[in-house]
Amino acid sequence: MENVYLKAEEKVIFSLRALYSGYGYSRYKMNKFEEYDLYVRNKDFLLSDAVITFTDTNGKLMALKPDVTLSIIKDSEDTPAAVRKLYYNENVYRISKTTGSFKEIMQVGLECIGDADDYCIYEVLMLAAKSLLTVSDSSLLAISHMGILSDIIDSLSLTGAQSAAVLRCVEEKNVHDLEAMCRACGVESASVQLLKDLIGIYGTPATVLPQLERILKNTCAWDSYKELEQTLALAEGSDIEQYLRIDFSIINDLKYYNGIIFKGFIEGIATAVLSGGQYDKLMRKMKRKTGAVGFALYLDQLERFYPREESYDTDYVLLYGENESAKAVCEAVRAYSKKGAVLAVRKLPGSLKYKTLLKLAGGKVVEADGIS
């Protein structure tokens, strides 16, 4: 029987845990806080550099964790030819997009760390798509490849600030500013056209990959294109294929991400609810020689998706007098617990929120309608 006591978000979490466990991912548990220095050294990787800090009894500056990935990398062993597959559902502490203030947010995700081959990368991509479908059939996973973008931008001999500005134009699909900036920097027209072509591309892998092959052949981004093609070929004929879209406006920080990146969207929510990709460059920054790929699903974004449920402490309150037998109370609780949660008490708590009040008198239950 479906657990009627769980909220919609809680049901999603249990479904995702079952999904990830089914592919051999082990659950990762971590402390609520880490040394603040871990986040200072990698603040650009975080969604926000606002972190709640406190001083520990030993004088170290600690932080309530705003991220899980950094802790997993820190705690992982750098073992060549081995892969560690982990999933998590952990509370993180960051500024909520909905309230603008610090909030404890449940985050669910997974990481594949180590010698992640083509299958591992596809498996994470596939599980990201299936995670979205666990929430809603009206969802899409938008995919890009940071290698293609970085190969092209690196060939332009721009400064760091100029490269970042070009990436912003690609992310915003801003062709006008891209052309103006490239002209000012002396970028060749062929390279400008290549970037414009990438900005204009959007669609299913079956539609877009032939276009990409045509425009990227004989360019510096060809090897990166082949990586993308090989990964997406594994999705052909699968149950996730129809939910995949290639979109080069999906951007992540070039200092941390390298290969395939992706973001997940659900109809009815304006912003991405899932984000992930390959972050081998972050691994190098943290002195690891192996690679990594993973994603996180931000459950706070789903508050906009699920209808607001009225909050109750219990479904039924069963009031019984001191003359009622324990057996009669047991039988009444047993009968109504098939329909929902039952609180059996002799006196009604004043602050309790409930759906229905029941009264046990003479061994019989009387339902009082309309009391809440």
Segment 16-37, tens digit of pLDDT: 999 999 999 999 888 788 888 8
Q: Model confidence at 308, in pLDDT bands (50, 70, 90)?
A: low
> What are the sequence ranges of the domains in the chain?
8-305, 314-367
* Residue 311 CB neighbour total at 10 angstroms: 7
The phi, psi pair for 165, rounded to 5°, reads: -65, -40
* Separate counts of helices (H) and strands (E) for the chain: 12, 16
**pLDDT at position 244 over 60:** yes
Model's pTM, two decimal places? 0.80
pLDDT tier at 5 (50, 70, 90 boundaries)?
very low
Query: Looking at domain 8-305, does it have CATH number 3.30.930.10?
Result: yes
Residue 273 in contact with residue 295, Cβ under 8 Å?
A: no
pLDDT of residue 233: 95
Predicted confidence (pLDDT) per residue in 339-350, tens digit: 888 999 988 877
Average the pLDDT over 62-69 and give the result. Answer: 84
* Mean pLDDT, rounded, of the chain: 87
179-202 as b/e: b if 16+ CB within 10 A? bebbeebebeeebbebbbebbebe
| Confidence class for position 98, pLDDT limits 50, 70, 90 | low
Any idea which of 58-67, 95-104, 138-147, 250-259 has the lowest mean pLDDT?
A: 95-104
Which residue matches tokens 């809603």?
136
Confidence of residue 369 (pLDDT cuts 50, 70, 90): low
Cα gap 252→279, rounded to integer Å? 10
The answer to whether residue 66 scores a pLDDT higher than 60 is yes
Residue-level pLDDT at 92: 84
Average pLDDT of the residues in 274-294:
91
* Measured distance CA(132)–CA(302) in Å, rounded: 11
Indicate the pLDDT class of residue 4, thresholds 50, 70 and 90: very low
Virtual torsion, Cα 129, 135, 136, 137, nearest 10 deg = 40
Q: Which of 262, 19, 288 is nearest to 134 (CA)?
A: 19
The percentage of the chain sitting over the pLDDT mark of 90, rounded to a whole number, equals 48
